[in-house]
Amino acid sequence: MRCPFCRHSDSRVVDSREAEEGAAIRRRRACSECGRRFTTMEEASLRVRKRSGATEPFSRAKVIVGVRKACQGRPVRSDDLALLAERVEETVRSSGSAEVAAEDVGRAILGPLRELDEVAYLRFASVYLAFESLADFEVAIAALRADAGQSSEAAGAPLAESSRAAGPELGAAGLTRGPHLAAAPGLRAAAGP
């Protein structure tokens, strides 16, 4: 590793430790020419491929920006968003690929966001899954209600009264794998313009 101070091409590692909870390694290096020290970070490459074909580094901050919009006015804390972004990164990294589609990032957001706040989830899903009509919302809400019924923990959820259209046979899987996914216009909410 080249020294950033004197441009000497050789340095030695004087300390090496895990960072980002094991996702990265931080190394302290000393230049063998000028003796000054600097730090390097090593982590598995993860790039996001946008619909335009361009790629950019995966960014938790971008995930948070996208999700925060959907969370406006909702009782969601910054800590919750940080944790969500962490889970999203874990999910997309677990594919093992160095490059993932923006759609995959959006899909990875749906699950944790749904656990966090159902209204924010519906907002996000309506953009990500390109809801086109009330019927799309009804299917999504029915899926939420069906799951709430199974776990019985969200019995008093505010969504419970907002739709009585579709039956409980429409599970959550139907939403995330539904026909809209193929037509989804990229990850507008999460990846920005």
- Residue closer to Zn ion (CB basis): 8 or 74: 8
**Is 37 a binder of Zn ion (CB under 5 A)?**
no
**Is 34 a binder of Zn ion (CB under 5 A)?**
yes
Q: 74-81 long-range CB contacts below 8 Å, 24 or more apart?
A: 74/117, 74/119, 74/120, 75/117, 76/116, 76/117, 76/120, 80/116
**Is 33 a binder of Zn ion (CB under 5 A)?**
yes
- Residue closer to Zn ion (CB basis): 29 or 62: 29
**Closest separation in Å from C-beta 9 to Zn ion:** 10
**Is 14 a binder of Zn ion (CB under 5 A)?**
no
CA-CA-CA-CA dihedral for 29, 31, 34, 39, to nearest 10: -30
**Of 6, 24, 41, 165, which one interacts with Zn ion (CB under 5 A)?**
6
**Closest separation in Å from C-beta 35 to Zn ion:** 7
**Closest separation in Å from C-beta 16 to Zn ion:** 19
**Is 3 a binder of Zn ion (CB under 5 A)?**
yes
Are 191 and 105 contacting, i.e. CB atoms less than 8 angstroms apart? yes
Provide the binding-site residues for Zn ion, judged by CB under 5 A. 3, 5-6, 8, 31, 33-34
